[in-house]
Amino acid sequence: MSVLRRTGYVLGLPVVLLVSWWFLSANSTDFFFPPLSRILESLREEWFGPRLTEDVWPSLYRLAAGYAVAIVVAVALGVLIGTSRIARGLLEPVLEFFRAIPPPVLVPIFILFFGLGDGMKILVIAFGCMWPILLNTVEGVRAVDSVLSDTGRVYGLSGWPRLRHLVLPSASPQIFAGLRQGLSVAIILMVISELFAADNGLGFAVVQAQRSFAVPETWAGMLMLGLLGFLLALLFRIVENRQLAWYHGLRRAQRSN
């Protein structure tokens, strides 16, 4: 598939929706549904102006920090649980208990222990988005091909070399599936964490606009969140395709046969 055709598939529907929205709302006098032209003007003035550094960058910092913490903790725990029956027996009941707790419910407790700063928000994001990464890592590690595992054992592959050259590469497609799910959860929790006693961030700015009945600014904030999610998903897809090029090539070869 050519790059132009692939780009058309990605951008086609969003462009159609925006054009339809533009014409359908062009003459709108409804206070709560202003014309798209006003919303885009607010988006340019607010979100690509002072709010870019005051609200967007702090949100991206919290998102990146929480997501990074979740990756490190979840992959490490997932490898441990996936490779050790003893660790699985000891940790799974506790992890299942914490996994069942919705992260927004823990925000007041995190505020109590960690205050109102960025640390609390980063922990909320990390706690919520680590579960899909952890579960997918466990399943990926447990699904390592037994023939490859036995072959590696015969050749004396153990410890860190076995983990680096066999376990992690074999489990990486499943791990990336968890990372993709975790990124979506992280964006949601980034917004939720900024609704509580925050003084900046995307979630804070959108709620403030809503409470002050600044309707175009509220719509613009939601568009900014959607645009941010789209760009992050696109960036993730680029990284995933690069890191899993061997896996996608193998699947294409299998389909062609």
Is residue 24 one of the residues assigned to a domain?
A: no
Is residue 1 one of the residues assigned to a domain?
A: no
- Full 3-state SS string of 171-210: HHHHHHHHHHHHHHHHHHHHHHHCCCCCCCCHHHHHHHHH
Torsion on CA atoms 162, 165, 167, 170, rounded to nearest 10: -160
Question: Which of 181 and 97 is assigned the larger pLDDT?
Answer: 181
**What is d(CA 159, CA 50) in angstroms, rounded to the nearest whole number?**
51
Is residue 22 one of the residues assigned to a domain?
A: no
Is residue 158 one of the residues assigned to a domain?
A: yes
Q: Alpha helix locations (H) across 25-55?
A: 36-42, 51
**pLDDT at site 48:** 84
| pLDDT of residue 257 exceeding 70 | no
**What is d(CA 23, CA 20) in angstroms, rounded to the nearest whole number?**
5
Q: Mean pLDDT, the chain, as a whole number?
A: 85
Is residue 17 one of the residues assigned to a domain?
A: no
Is residue 5 one of the residues assigned to a domain?
A: no
CATH number at residue 166: 1.10.3720.10
Q: Find, among 161, 159, 180, 163, the residue nearest to 78 by Cα.
A: 163
**pLDDT at site 187:** 92
Residue span of the structural domain in which 239 resides: 35-256
Q: What is the pLDDT of residues 142-195, one digit of tens each?
A: 888 777 777 777 777 777 778 788 888 888 999 999 999 999 999 999 998 888
Number of domains in the chain: 1
Cβ(51)–Cβ(62) below 8 Å: no
Q: What distance lies between CA 3 and its chain's CA centroid?
A: 25
Is residue 93 one of the residues assigned to a domain?
A: yes
For the entire predicted model, the pTM comes to 0.88
Cβ(204)–Cβ(192) below 8 Å: no
The amino acid at 105: V
User: Which residues are within 8 A (CB) of 3 and not within 5 positions of it... i.e. 6 or more apart?
Assistant: none
Token pair for 246: 């061997």
Is residue 69 one of the residues assigned to a domain?
A: yes
Q: What is the pLDDT of residues 158-167, one digit of tens each?
A: 777 787 888 8
If one counts every other C-beta atom within 10 angstroms of the C-beta of residue 173, the result is 19
Q: What is the pLDDT of residues 34-62, one digit of tens each?
A: 888 888 888 888 888 788 888 889 999 99
Token pair for 5: 């055709």
